[in-house]
Amino acid sequence: MSRSLSRRRAFGRLAFASLFGLACAAVQAQSFPSRPLHLIIPFPPGGVTDIVGRTVATRLSTELGQPVVVENKPGASGILGTELAARAPADGHTLLVGNISTLAVNAATFARLPYDPLTSFVPVSMLAIQPLVVAVHPKVQARTLSDLVRLAKANPGTLSYGSAGSSIHLAVEFFNTLVGAQMNHVPYKGSTPAITDLVGGQIDVLFDPFSSLYPQVQAGKVRGLAVTTASRSQVAPDLPTVIESGVAGYDVSSWQGLVVPAGTPQAAIDRLHAAIVKVLAQPEVKEAFAKQGAQASPTSPEQLQQYVRAEVARWKKVATDAGVKPQ
C-alpha cells in the first residue's frame, strides 16, 4: 500500500471522527436537559442570593422545557451547599448559585475547603451584581464618607463596625487599609442583628448589602454615606460611590454567578448559557433584581472565570494585608 493511500485513509478516519464528534455534540445539545434540574442555593431563603436564584429558576424552567427545582442548602458560610454541588454528577442537571463568599472570600478565610472555587466548577454566567451600602448611626459625627474617614483616623480604635460574614469583614478591612483607619470589628451571624444594633446605636458603622440596609436609610433610622461599587446605584442615585468620596481604588460588589460541576459537557454549558442570557434580558427579571438593588449582569463563561480568579486573588491579598488568618 502506498504512503499516499495510507495518508488519505488516515485523513478520512480523522475527518469521520471529527464529524461524528460534532454530530454527537449536536445530539447532546438537543437532548439536554433530559430531566428536571436542581438549582442549589447554599444560603437560607429570603436573602439576596436566594431571591436572585429563585427569580432565575422560574424563567429558566420555561427556557429549558424542564422543571428547575430550587434547593436551599445553607450552612458554614455556604460551604455545605457548595460542596454538595461540587460532588454532584457533572451532567448539567445540577446548578449552583455561587456568590462572593462561596466562590472567592471563603478561599481567603478558610484554611481548608472541601472544594476549589477555581477547579471544582465551570462557570456559566454572572447573574447579578449589587453594591454594599455604607451607613452610620445618626449619633456619629459624619455626614459624608470623607467625614467618617477623618473621624476614624483621628480616633483610632474608637469607632466600631459590624459585619455579617467574612465577605463584609474583608470589605471593611480593605477600606481601612486604603484610608489608613482602624475601627473595631464586631462580628454578627446575619444582617438582621447587625442592622438592629446599628439602628440602636450599639455599633457605629455598617457595610451591608443594599437590599438589607438601604430600607433603613430610606426610613431615616441610619445615615447612608456611600455605595461601594464603581458606579452609583440606579435605585439610590443620590448616594455617592466610595471612590467619588475620595477613596481611590475601592470598588467592591456583592455578586452571584451560575456555575456547574467541573466536567460538565460543553454542549450542556452552551445550552444553559444561552438560556440564562435570555432570562436575564427579561424586563420582569431586571425589575425583580432592581428591587434588591441588583443589576442583571450576563457574561460569557470565560468572563466569569476570569472574574472569579481575580476575586480570589484580591481577597486573599486583602486578608493577608489586614492580618486576617484563615480559620
Q: What is the pLDDT of residues 246-268, one digit of tens each?
A: 999 999 999 999 999 999 999 99
Q: What is the pLDDT of residues 192-230, one digit of tens each?
A: 999 999 999 999 999 999 999 999 999 999 999 999 999
Q: What is the pLDDT of residues 167-176, one digit of tens each?
A: 999 999 999 9
User: How do beta strands 205-209 and 94-99 pair?
Assistant: unpaired
CATH topology of domain 131-227: D-Maltodextrin-Binding Protein; domain 2 (3.40.190)
Greatest CA separation for the chain: 93
Residues 6+ apart with CB under 8 A from 173: 185, 318, 319, 321, 322, 324
Higher local confidence (pLDDT), 9 or 205: 205
Phi, psi of 189 (to 5 degrees): -90, 0
Instruction: Give me the pLDDT at residue 17, please.
Output: 46
CATH classification of 30-128+256-322 is 3.40.190.150, yes or no?
yes
Residue ranges per structural domain of the chain: 30-128+256-322, 131-227
Q: What is the pLDDT of residues 131-162, one digit of tens each?
A: 999 999 999 999 999 999 999 999 999 999 99
Q: What is the pLDDT of residues 23-46, one digit of tens each?
A: 444 445 568 999 999 999 999 999
197-218 per-residue burial string, b: 16 or more CB within 10 A, e: under 16: bbbeeebbbbbbbbbbbbebbe
Residues 6+ apart with CB under 8 A from 306: none
Model's pTM, two decimal places? Answer: 0.88
Q: What is the pLDDT of residues 74-117, one digit of tens each?
A: 999 999 999 999 999 999 999 999 999 999 999 999 999 999 99
Three cell numbers written together for 79: 460551604
Residue 10's pLDDT band (cuts 50, 70, 90): low
- Please work out, in degrees rounded to the nearest 5, the angle formed at the alpha carbon of residue 54 by the alpha carbons of 49 and 60: 125
